[in-house]
Amino acid sequence: MSDPVVSAEPATTPSTEKRQKLGLKGYGKYLWLYVALSIGAMWGVVALYLPDYEFMAGILGELETTSPVVILVLHSPAIAAFVVLAWYDGWRGVANYLRTWVPRRKDLVWIPVLMGLMLLYIFAVRWGCQLFGIEVPPEPMGFGEGLVGFLQLLYREVGMVAIGIGWFGFFLPLMHRATGSHVRAGALTGLGIGLFVAPGNVFASFELATAWPLYTAQLCVLSIGMSLLMSEMKGNTLFFLLPFWVSASGSLLRLYIFARETQYVQIGLFTVLVLALYFVLKAKGGGKLAPVHTFPEYLENEYTTRVGAPFPGKGDRSRELATRQPKASEPE
C-alpha cells in the first residue's frame, strides 16, 4: 500500500494551508515523558523481577493479572497520557481529551459497521486457519457462553482501555504531528505498542516469544488502519476501542489459538481490511483522505469547532505556545 502523506493542519494557520508535517519542536518532552511512564514502567518492572523473581514476588507479589503491580503497569499508557495532558494544559487539557469521546451524529453509523466487520474478521481467521491446516480449537464457545465472555472481556483484558487512551489518544496523533503520514505514524504506533507488550510475550514462553514479532507487525497494520479511521472520526478513541474489543475476542471465544502460524492469517486479513478502508475513505472524501489529526490541535477549540464536534474543546493552547517560540522548520 502506498504511503498517503496528507497535510497536517495546525490551529495557527488556515485549513487550506498545506504542510507535510509539523514536527516535534516544543513537543518532544511530552513524547519522552510518555515513553518513560509507559514502556519505561513496563520494562522497569521486568528489570526488577528478572534477577531474583522469588525475592521480588515476596515483596511486590506474583506477576499475574490480579496483581496490583501488573494492573498498574498495564494501565500505565493511560496514566502517562493523562499526566502529559495535565502537564500540557492542566485540567482543561484532560477535559478536552474526554470531550473527544463523544461521537458526531453522522459518525454513529460506523460503530455497528466496524463491530460487525470485526466479528466477521474473527470468524474469517478461524476459516483461514482451517483452510491452511493451522490448528484451531475443535469447538467454539456456544452463543450464550460466548456473549457473557465477550462482555466480560472489556474488563478482563486488563489494559485494553489504557492502550486506547495512551497509544491512540495521545501517541498516534503525536506521531501524525511528527510525520504527517498515516503509514509512518501507524507503523510507529504499532511498534510502540509491540515494545510495551513485549515482556508479556518474550518472557512467557518460547511459543509466545516467537509469535511476538508477527504480533507486532499485526499491530502496525492495525494502527495504520486506525490512523485512517480516527482521522476521519476527529480522533475519537471510541472508534479504536469498540472494533478492537471485538477483534480481541477470537481466542477467548475459542475460534483460534494465539500462535505464530495464526498471526500470518491475521496479518493478511488485516491488510485486506486496511486497504479496503483506505479506498472507502478516499472515495467518501471525493478522492482525498481526511487530514491527519495531530496532538494537541485535535483537542482544542479551533479544530473541534471546525469539524463539528458535539462538545468543542476549550481554548487553543497550541496557539498560545506558538506565539512564544519560533515555528518549527518546514520542508520545501
pLDDT in tens, 108-127: 999 999 999 999 999 999 99
In 3D space, the residue among 160, 174, 181, 167 whose CA is nearest the CA of residue 299 turns out to be 174
What is the arithmetic mean of pLDDT over 39-51?
A: 90
Provide the mean pLDDT of the chain. 86
Residue found by looking up cell 486506547 in the block: 164
pLDDT tens digit sequence for 59-73: 888 877 778 888 899
Q: What is the pTM of this model?
A: 0.87
What is the arithmetic mean of pLDDT over 222-237?
A: 96
The full set of domain ranges for the chain reads 28-322
Q: Which class for 133: exposed (0-12), middle (13-18), buried (19 or more C-beta within 10 A)?
A: exposed
pLDDT, residue 313, reads 94
Out of 12-16, 149-153, 328-332, which region has the weakest mean confidence (pLDDT)?
Answer: 12-16
116: part of which helix (H) or strand (E)? helix 110-131
Residues forming a β-bridge with 292? 8
- Backbone CA torsion sign across 250, 254, 259, 264: negative
- Backbone CA torsion sign across 318, 165, 75, 217: negative
CA atoms within 13 A on the CB side of 175: 26
Please report the DSSP string for 228-283 in residue order.
Answer: HHHHHTTT-THHHHHHHHHHTTTTTTTSS--SHHHHHHHHHHHHHHHHHHHHHHHH
Is the peptide bond between 296 and the residue preceding it cis, with omega within 30 degrees of 0? yes
Q: How far apart are CA 293 and CA 227, in angstroms?
A: 9
Q: Which amino acid is at 304?
A: T
Residue 110 phi, psi (nearest 5): -70, -25
pLDDT tens digit sequence for 139-181: 887 777 777 777 777 666 667 899 999 999 999 999 999 999 9
pLDDT, residue 205, reads 62
Residue 126 phi, psi (nearest 5): -60, -45
